[in-house]
Amino acid sequence: MNVYPDISYIAKLIAEPARAKILDCLMNGQALPAGELAYIAQVSHPTVSSHLAKLVDGKLLISEQHGRHRYFRLASQEVAEVLEKIGTIAPPVQIRSLRQSVNSGQLRYARTCYDHLAGELGVKITDALLDRGIITLTKEEYLVTEQGKKWFSAFGINLEEAANTRRIFAKPCLDWSERRYHISGWLGEAIAVRFFEQGWINKESNNRAVHLTEKGKRALRDEFDIM
C-alpha cells in the first residue's frame, strides 16, 4: 500500500453540480432509484445514468437492484463525512427563494448525516450525554460509562446489539454548520432511530432536514435539559 491518494479524482466527482445534488440528497443514508435522482438533479435519464455510473465507479455510491429499479445509496459513512467536511470551508450557495431560506434554517437546526443526527440538535444531544457522564470521549471513540449503560437501557437502546455488527460503535463526526462534533456510528444511528420511533422528530423526503415535534420539544426539555 505504498501509495498516496488521488484527491483530484474524488474532487472531480463531487465538482459537477448534478452529481453534487445527487450526493447531497443521499446524505441522509436513504437509497433512491435512478429515475428519482434524475428528477432531483434536474437532468434526463441518460445523463443521470452516466453520473451514477461514475459515482459508483469512484466508490462514492453503491447500488442494489430491486426488481427493475436500481437503488443508489452512499457507499459509506466516510463519504458523508467527507462531504460535510468540505462544507466547512465552502461558500454559501445563492439563495433564490423563500423556501430555500426556510429550508436552510431547518437544516442548520437538525438534519440527518448518513444515519445519525447532525446540526445544532445533534451537537446538543452529544453534549448533554457527555455532561451527564453517560458517555465519555477517548482517543478515537465515544464510550458508554457504567452509569450510561443503565441510562441507554432505560432509553430503549440495547447496547449488546452493537456487538453483532462490524460497524464502529460511536465516533465523533464533524458537521459544517456547527463545526462541532456529534455522535455517529452504530450508537449515533440507534439514537436517531429511537428519536424517530418515539415521534420526537420526523423527516421530509428528498431533504436532509429533520423536524422536532411538540412531543420532541417536551422530551428534550424534560430528559436532556435542551431548550
Partner DNA sequence: AATCCATTTAGGGTATCATCGAAATATGAA
Partner DNA sequence: TTCATATTTCGATGATACCCTAAATGGATT
From residue 88, alpha-carbon distances to 28, 179, 182 in Å are 18, 7, 15
**Which is closer to DNA, CB of 64 or CB of 78?**
64
**Which is closer to DNA, CB of 38 or CB of 123?**
38
Beta strand 116-118 with 111-113 is antiparallel
Q: Residue-wise over 208-218: b if at least 16 C-beta within 10 A, else e?
A: bbbebeeebee
Q: What are phi and psi of 172, to 5 degrees?
A: -70, 140
Query: Which stretch, 30-38, 138-146, 159-167, 199-207, contacts a second copy (CB under 8 A)?
Result: 138-146
- Kindly report the number of other CB atoms within 10 A of residue 76's CB atom: 14
List the grid coordinates of 151.
441510562
**Which is closer to DNA, CB of 61 or CB of 157?**
61
Query: Which stretch, 36-44, 128-136, 192-200, 218-226, contacts DNA (CB under 7 A)?
Result: 36-44
Nearest to 123 by CA among 82, 174, 199, 84: 174
Contact of residue 4 among a second copy, DNA, none (CB under 5-8 Å per partner type): a second copy
Shortest spacing between CB 97 and DNA, in angstroms: 20
Overall residue count recorded for the chain in this entry: 227
For residue 164, state whether it binds a second copy (rule: CB under 8 A). Answer: no
- Kindly report the number of other CB atoms within 10 A of residue 165's CB atom: 11
Shortest spacing between CB 5 and a second copy, in angstroms: 4
List the grid coordinates of 205.
423526503
Shortest spacing between CB 177 and a second copy, in angstroms: 8
Helix H or strand E segment including 18: helix 17-25
Please report, as residue ranges, which positions from 44 to 73 form the binding site for DNA (by CB under 7 A): 44-54, 63, 65, 67-70
**Which is closer to a second copy, CB of 84 or CB of 219?**
84
**Which is closer to DNA, CB of 17 or CB of 133?**
17
Instruction: With H, G, I as helix, E, B as strand and everything else as coil, classify residue 134.
Output: coil
Shortest spacing between CB 187 and DNA, in angstroms: 33
Q: Which of 67, 68, 93, 154 binds a second copy (CB under 8 A)?
A: 93
Helix H or strand E segment including 211: strand 210-212
Provide the binding-site residues for a second copy, judged by CB under 8 A. Answer: 1-17, 19-20, 23-24, 58-60, 76, 78-79, 81-83, 85-95, 101, 104-105, 107-108, 127, 130, 137-140, 172, 176-177, 180-181
Chain positions contacting DNA, by CB under 7 A: 12, 16-18, 33-36, 43-54, 63, 65, 67-70
